[in-house]
């Protein structure tokens, strides 16, 4: 058991070292001007039973804040500080800080070893990326990828179809998760125009 924990800690430290030398080419970073298009994104997950007007106000305020946390560029992830959406399929649409040709993305979620339950069934599994020029279009398919539930917290993926043009928006479409039927959690998402 200790060997497994040490190996995971080494993996996390290695990932932090890699992240610290990556260039700041994250075009989905809120502090650089990116923003969530709330009306075009999935609804936030809420447990059943929130009925009062105060619950509704809280839901509205929390939904915006939780979605925004996905593009705030956190270098470390804290269990529970994510944006949850209902079920195992959902999407997030982001206005990028600058129009860009999207060549890679980074998806972040807590690891099994960070989870109090030692499993991450609410983590995204298969996800697709779409580049969007205007909010009136469906978008251009750039690839489908798989987040490794046994991998590092932050995983960077080179897109299989990167040379499709310049995009002002990106759609992160979650196609499945690792088994949670109630909700899926998104912690961090980054968009790059080159793979380091």
Could you count the other beta carbons within 10 Å of the beta carbon of residue 84? 20
Q: Which pLDDT does position 42 carry in this prediction?
A: 94
Is the whole-model pTM more than 0.75?
yes
Model confidence at 18, pLDDT cuts 50, 70, 90, reads very low
Render pLDDT for 131-173 as a digit per residue (tens, 0 to 9): 999 999 989 999 999 999 999 999 999 998 777 789 999 999 9
The span from the CA of 37 to the CA of 64, in Å, is 10
Long-range own/partner contacts, residues 53-62 (CB < 8 A, 24 or more apart):
none
pLDDT at 45: 87
More confident residue, 52 or 192: 192
With tokens 């991998």, the residue in question is: 151
- Sequence-distant (6+) residues with CB within 8 A of 57 are none
**Model confidence over 31-78: pLDDT tens digits?**
999 999 999 999 888 766 655 555 555 555 566 788 899 999 988 899
pLDDT of residue 54: 53
pLDDT at 123: 97
Bigger pLDDT: 183 vs 60? 183
Residues 159, 149 contacting (CB under 8 angstroms): no
Domains, the chain, in order of start with CATH, read 2-192 (2.60.120.260)
Mean pLDDT of 82-102: 95
The answer to whether 163 and 171 are in contact (CB under 8 A) is no
């Amino acid at each position: 058991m200790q060997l497994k924990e040490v190996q995971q800690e080494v993996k996390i430290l290695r990932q932090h070292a890699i992240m610290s030398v990556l260039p700041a080419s994250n075009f989905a970073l809120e502090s650089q001007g990116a923003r969530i298009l709330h009306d075009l994104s999935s609804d936030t997950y809420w447990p059943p039973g929130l009925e009062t007007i105060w619950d509704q106000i809280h839901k509205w305020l929390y939904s915006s804040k939780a979605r925004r946390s996905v593009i705030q560029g956190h270098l470390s992830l804290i269990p529970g500080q994510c944006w949850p959406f209902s079920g195992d399929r959902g999407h997030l649409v982001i206005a990028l800080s600058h129009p860009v040709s999207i060549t890679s993305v980074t998806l972040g979620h807590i690891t099994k070893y960070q989870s109090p339950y030692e499993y991450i069934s609410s983590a995204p599994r298969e996800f697709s990326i779409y580049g969007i020029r205007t909010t009136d279009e469906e978008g251009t398919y750039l690839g489908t990828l798989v987040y490794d539930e046994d991998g590092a917290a932050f995983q960077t993926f080179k897109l299989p179809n990167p040379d499709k043009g310049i995009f002002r928006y990106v759609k992160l479409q979650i196609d499945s998760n690792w088994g949670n039927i109630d909700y899926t959690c998104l912690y961090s998402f980054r968009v790059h125009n080159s793979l380091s």
